[in-house]
Each structure stands twice: as C-alpha cells, then as structure tokens.
Amino acid sequence: KQLTEKVIRMVIKPAWKGCNPRHGSCKIPGECRCQYGWQGQYCDKCISHPGCVHGTYNEPWQWLCETNWGGQFCNKDLNYCGTHPPCLNGGTCSNTGPDKYQCSCPEGYLGQNCEIAENASFSDPCPNGGSCLETPTGFECLLFDGFKCVCPPQWTGWDGATCNIARNSSCLSNPCHNGGTCVVSGESFTCVCKGGWEGPTCTTTATIKEKFIIYFLL
C-alpha cells in the first residue's frame, strides 16, 4: 500500500480576530455564540446595565464607579460637600455618607445648613410671632440687614415682610408704589403718597400747580 501524506498549511494574518474564548464559543465557522452578559461579533463587548449612572463596565452586570460616586448603580454622591456646597455663612461641610453631609456652623448660626442667624433674633424685628431667618443668599430682604421675617404657618392673622399686616387686609398685596404708605380703609385702602407722586396707587407724577395774582391799578 502506498501512503499519501498531505500537508495543510494555514496562514493566519496578524489582524485576524476570532471569537473570545472566555466569553463565547465557535461551533460554526464565522459564527460566535456568546455567553450570558456578552455581545458583539466576537463576544468581547459587555452588556451594560441600564441603571448605572456614573460608572463603566468590565464584567457583565458589574461596573466600576467613577471617583466620588458609589452605590449599586453608581448614583450615590460620596462627595456631596464638593458637588453641592450646602453650608452657608462660613459653615464647614463634612461628608458623612452617600448623599449625606453635616455642617459645622460658626458662632451665631445654626440649622442644618447654618441658615439661621441667632444674633438677628436678639433685636426681635418680627412681631406677632414671626421668626427671623437668614435667606439662602443672605440678602433677599434688606429691611433688617439682610434678614427677612417668616411668619409661622399656624399664625393665621398676620403676614407681610415683618408679619405686621393682617392676612385679610387689602394692603397685603402692597398696592402703593413709589414709597407710598398703605392705610386700610374699611374693606378697601388708601395710599398716602410721597412727594412728587399722586393717584390711587401713587403711580402718577404730581402736577405742579401755580397761582397767578393779577393786580389792577386804579
């Protein structure tokens, strides 16, 4: 018998890429069957989880969170103090957990964000049970050195900048312009205008009236 030997030569090009042996298998030439969690022509692309916010994927359903982000979906801010500086009036912020912080307030301020000025309450500018609070910016109301009066919800009789206007008063909407003073008149109101202004709500420039005296010579 004569034996015939055949030599088969395979040439593999450097740029050739096949099915990833870790994440897929090839039983039919040119076709990769991917394992669960992987996709792509060569089963080399990880299927991303739709809920991840600040992270990248290395393994199926597992992700590496970006710096200062944590939680199951990388959506918990670990640096809340740096991302959303919450402490006002020179307060010092400390990160205490994901999406949590604590403010250390300087002397004279208190509250979760150091928004309440203790010293302002000493002068007691808010009558009728109103409390004096500093605004988030510190200067929303300029009537009392940057403080405004916040009337308590249970106080049903008063409102206004200093909690001194009856809530059923016609002057509550501040109808008098240009520095005019509103005076309640029954169920209506009257505006006492400053010099140079006139009209029901002090919006008309006052008319200068001149008197002429005529002398007759006899």
Query: Do the domain assignments include residue 112?
Result: yes
Return the beta strands (E) in 37-107 as ranges. Answer: 38-39, 45-46, 55-59, 62-65, 69-70, 76-77, 92-97, 100-104
Query: Do the domain assignments include residue 98?
Result: yes
Spatial separation of the C-alpha atoms in residues 218 and 207, rounded to whole Å: 35
Query: Do the domain assignments include residue 146?
Result: no
Is 90 exceeded by the pLDDT of residue 11? no
State the total domains in the chain.
Answer: 1
Letter for the amino acid at 206? A
Query: Do the domain assignments include residue 33?
Result: no
180 or 213: whose pLDDT is higher? 180
As beta bridge partners, residue 39 has: 45
| DSSP classification of residue 87 | -
**Is residue 198 within 8 Å of 204, Cβ to Cβ?**
yes
pTM of full prediction above 0.75: no
CATH number at residue 108: 2.10.25.10
Tokens representing 156 are: 């049903």
Give the whole-number percent of the chain exceeding pLDDT 90.
3
Query: Do the domain assignments include residue 91?
Result: yes
Query: Do the domain assignments include residue 100?
Result: yes
Task: Identify the domain containing residue 95 by its residue range.
Answer: 80-117
22 or 11: whose pLDDT is higher? 22
pLDDT digits (tens, 9 = 90+) for 48-87: 666 677 776 666 666 778 888 887 778 888 888 888 889 9
Q: For 60-208, where are the alpha helices, taking DSSP H only?
A: 80-83
